[in-house]
Amino acid sequence: MHGNPPSHPWIHRLSRTNPPGRIRLFCFPYAGGGASTFRGWAELLPDEIDVHAIQPPGREDRLFEDPVDTLQATLDAVVPELLEHSKEPFALFGHSLGAIVCWEAARVLREEHDVEPMHMFLSGCRALPAVHDGRRDLHTLPEAELIEELRLMNGTPEEILQNADFMRMLLPTIRADYAMLSRYSFLSCKPPGAPVTVFGGANDPGVGMHHLQQWSELVEGELDSMVLPGDHFFLHASRQPLLAEMAKRLLQPGREAGRDSSHRSL
């Protein structure tokens, strides 16, 4: 690993229970998102699940730090922090760009440290390496076009999109995240040892059912997949059913989640 250590921790604990829950859940946000993406999750999940969020620089309480625009720099920073928690059972969740970072962090943990999560949840993301198929390089767009793309994605409140001063602060981080996505190159690797569940939105225009099913080529056994109501940001609109499905898999250790079902919808 290389690179400078982060000036602030990348992992924020969101649960307030003491002692912590027996299972750590580490959550990776989508492009432009931060730890607040997962606000309220700790209150909706059972106390046995201790919720932690990844907080990259350039947003929220790290707003005035330079954003990171390469996956390698992200892994160099976040994997050592994940290792500090790896003595306890843990799971990983990632949405969209966060799913890619989640997958690659799990690969590094497995290949370089012989560490596996108990479960991996990949949400709102095309199966690798098809993540780039038909995608524009959003980080190179002029400001007005990039803002319009964000509006079409329906993940940013209109009042924020229309706040020119606020958007000027946010856009460098958003561009950095999309640059990371554009530069990402999939590395072929052995299937993860952990069960994998993939989630998708029923009305996500960019991630269809066929994209989700292609994850079956990267995991062992039958793919555990579920489609929930909502668009690309269904993790907000369908938060309660999403968390219920995750809790069910994490709290039934005798059940081989990810091995016993093909596809379900709610």
Residue 176 lies in a domain: no
Residue 158 lies in a domain: no
Residue 42 lies in a domain: yes
Question: Catalytic residue positions?
Answer: 96
Q: Reply yes or no on whether the pLDDT at 1 is more than 50.
A: no
What mean pLDDT is reported for the chain? Answer: 88
Which pLDDT tens digit goes with each residue over 76-95? 999 999 999 999 999 999 99
Strand partners, 120: 92, 196
Which pLDDT tens digit goes with each residue over 110-154? 999 999 999 999 999 999 876 655 456 777 677 778 878 888 888
Residue 160 lies in a domain: no
Q: Reply yes or no on whether the pLDDT at 4 is more than 70.
A: no
Residue 171 lies in a domain: no
Domain that holds residue 260: 11-133+189-265
Q: Reply yes or no on whether the pLDDT at 99 is more than 50.
A: yes
Domain count, the chain: 1
Residue 162 lies in a domain: no
CATH of the domain at 228: 3.40.50.1820
Mean of the pLDDT values across residues 7-16?
Answer: 88
Residue 146 lies in a domain: no
Separation of alpha carbons 78 and 6, rounded Å: 9
Is residue 264 very low, low, confident or very high in pLDDT (cuts 50, 70, 90)? Answer: low
Is residue 259 very low, low, confident or very high in pLDDT (cuts 50, 70, 90)? Answer: very low
Residues whose CB is less than 8 angstroms from the CB of residue 187 and which lie 6 or more positions away in sequence, other chains included: 104, 107
Instruction: Tally the residues of the chain.
Output: 266
Residue 161 lies in a domain: no
Q: How far is CA 248 from the centre of its chain?
A: 19
Q: Name the residue among 147, 148, 241, 257 with its Cα closest to residue 202.
A: 241
Give pLDDT, residue 247: 98
Give pLDDT, residue 78: 97
